[in-house]
A and B are shown apart, each in its own frame.
Chain A
Amino acid sequence: NAGVTQTPKFQVLKTGQSMTLQCAQDMNHNSMYWYRQDPGMGLRLIYYSASEGTTDKGEVPNGYNVSRLNKREFSLRLESAAPSQTSVYFCATALDRVYEQYFGPGTRLTVT
């Protein structure tokens, strides 16, 4: 029972490169979320998926896309990375929208 897993743990990109961050959960949760965490800014919601088959924008969606591949997996894609996207990215899941969220270990991304 791994809970919430994220890959990769670390990534360095050059400006303009693309990449996909992967998130998988074995908790049978319906809702999944992507956050970024920056010093002094707390956690900011990028996108979320309230249930399989749906995705919605959060607070800071520009420059990102998401795919809810199935109930278990929710990926975050950066099509053309920018230095402003240097951050730590967290995936989280919840049984349903209003309940507590469980977080993955994070991906530390640096864009040069």
Chain B
Amino acid sequence: AQSVTQPDIHITVSEGASLELRCNYSYGATPYLFWYVQSPGQGLQLLLKYFSGDTLVQGIKGFEAEFKRSQSSFNLRKPSVHWSDAAEYFCAASGFQKLVFGTGTRLLVSP
């Protein structure tokens, strides 16, 4: 079955430090891949997407993600975290007719 795994439920990062959120997928072929962010009480906002081509994709708010086929991974990165980045992050992969979401990683930013 198609699945998306986010192994970290919570991550705490100091403001100004770098961030990497992990995402692994299990699919028969390379799916389209996405990262979303959800602030408290809000809907999900698309950060970036990967369809094909360059394996390093840039998104909004200074985020980037790298697709690694050999590791079935699509990790999200940011070089310097801001307090406003505290939120929940969801990785998703496209399956037949729908997206499959990971269970999310909550990012806490310490001063």
* Residues of A participating in the B interface, judged by any CB pair closer than 8 Å: 4, 31, 33, 40-43, 45, 48, 50, 56, 58, 90, 92, 97-106
CA A105 to CA B41, docked complex, whole Å: 8
Q: Which of B6-59 contact A (CB under 8 A)?
A: 32, 34, 36, 41-46, 49
Name which residue of chain A comes closest to B6, CB basis. A42
Across the A-B interface, give the 5 residue pairs with the lowest CB-CB distance, nearest first.
A103-B43, A42-B103, A103-B44, A98-B94, A97-B97
Instruction: Decide yes or no whether B67 CB sits under 8 A from chain A.
Output: no
* Residues of B participating in the A interface, judged by any CB pair closer than 8 Å: 32, 34, 36, 41-46, 49, 90, 94, 96-99, 101-104
Task: Report whether A48 and B34 are in contact in the complex, using a CB–CB cutoff of 8 Å.
Answer: no
Task: Report whether A56 and B97 are in contact in the complex, using a CB–CB cutoff of 8 Å.
Answer: yes
CA A50 to CA B96, docked complex, whole Å: 10
Task: Report whether A50 and B97 are in contact in the complex, using a CB–CB cutoff of 8 Å.
Answer: yes
Known A100-B49, A103-B44; contact A48-B98, beta-carbon cutoff 8 A: yes
CA A101 to CA B38, docked complex, whole Å: 14
Name which residue of chain A comes closest to B36, CB basis. A103
Task: Report whether A90 and B43 are in contact in the complex, using a CB–CB cutoff of 8 Å.
Answer: yes
Task: Report whether B98 and A33 are in contact in the complex, using a CB–CB cutoff of 8 Å.
Answer: yes
Known A98-B32, A98-B94, A99-B94; contact A105-B43, beta-carbon cutoff 8 A: yes
